[in-house]
Chain A
Amino acid sequence: MNWTRLLQKILRCYPPSWQARYGDEMRALVDDLLDGRGRARWTLAAGLAFGALKEHVHPTVNARGGLGAANVQQRLAVMGLVALPVGFAALGFVCDTVLVHDGAVVGFLIGCWYAIVLTRASFGSGHSTWEPWIVVVVGFVVLAWVLTFGGAGASPSAPSYFGQFVLVLGGALVMRVGFGAFLGRQQARELEPHVRSLLTGAWAAALIATAVLFASIYTSHRVAAQQSVAVCHAPVSRLVAGSGPGS
């Protein structure tokens, strides 16, 4: 096995900002360690791989090449990247038995959350004084109200409005604990460019997917509502027709 090539490949797994700051030094160190005698190379490889993983999850060097606590944001951004599609897919998977549109609502709001954070990171000024997670709670109340009582009609399998609210509020609070403190504007600015691009793609995909889902839900509810109206009106129509002048 060509250990030099393997170790160089593992070193390339470190975040770009880390490589820019420590890459040369670490390559020199790895060369020295490979030249040294009696050192287990697989231990070295495993240590480097673990270090690369750790640096992705708990970054030390920020995107500007500086060292700062702001990099803590990055790990949650990475977690968010994983949580967003997984959470959305999970909600979509169970939507047949639990509720139809909560998945769409939550996915849409998470997308809005990321949109706000990333937009503020790119164009905003001043420090954020409010919590983006409030968007999730307030947005859910508005959207759930519109979907449930605004004409589309409630799904027969959907829990009560209060039940849905509690469900999503709980989810939002969990997200607040997990993500809230990590998604400030300044923190998003500190993201690695590739992480920010991935996040932007993720929320854009979530917005598109939820828009499609909203449309399909609304259409199906509307068709169902029209059918039920037609079913209710049929006897009345027959009655009206039967009592007409031609009868």
Chain B
Amino acid sequence: MTSMGLRGSSDRSMLILTSLAGGPKHGYALIQDIEEFGGLTLGAGTLYGCLANLEQAGLIEPLPSDDRRRPYRITGAGSALLEERLEESRRIARIGLARIKRAAT
């Protein structure tokens, strides 16, 4: 899957990237963090499906670990994609809010 393949198709992937933007995390830490800031509880199967896709797209990479819990970190390409997507979301949110205000007045 290319990074373009993730565009607009996976909010969960964006949540994972957002979480990893704060620093490397393993699976359980990711689930807890996303639950905290996103209000969404990811299942283990869903999480690892997304992690595999993100890794395949080169947006995240695993870090070496002696523990069974392998941490992941966001790559440069992942950061760039996340920034682009968030900017896009901000622009859409700004337009939407402006229109709602206009309609109300």
Contact = CB atoms under 8 A, between A and B. Distances in A.
Interface of A: 21-22, 24-30, 32-33, 36, 39, 43-44, 47-52, 54-55, 60-61, 67-69
B89 interface: no
Given A29-B31, A60-B49, 6 more contacts: A25-B70, A28-B27, A29-B28, A29-B44, A48-B44, A60-B53
Given A32-B28, A48-B43, A60-B53, A22 B1 contact: no
Chain A residues touching B, majority SS: helix
A106 to B, nearest CB: 35
Given A28-B68, A69-B1, A22 B52 contact: yes
Nearest to B43: A47
B49 A61 contact: no
B52 A26 contact: no
A68 B27 contact: no
Interface in B28-72: 28, 31, 41, 43-49, 51-53, 55-56, 67-70
7 contacts: A25-B68, A26-B27, A26-B44, A32-B27, A39-B41, A47-B45, A51-B45
Contacts of A33: 28, 31, 44
Given A33-B31, A69-B1, A27 B68 contact: yes
Interface residues of B, number: 22
B26 interface: yes
Given A44-B43, A51-B45, A25 B52 contact: no
Contacts of B56: 60, 67-68
Residue of B1, B43, B44, B67 most packed against chain A (CB within 10 A): B44
Contacts of A36: 28
B45 A48 contact: yes
A67 B53 CA distance: 8
B49 A28 contact: no
Contacts of B69: 25, 28-29, 32
Contact of A43 (B28, B43, B55, B70): B43
> Of B1, B41, B52, B69, which is in contact with the most chain A CB atoms at under 10 Å from its CB?
B52
Interface string B17-31: 000000000111001
Given A27-B68, A60-B53, A69-B1, A50 B45 contact: yes
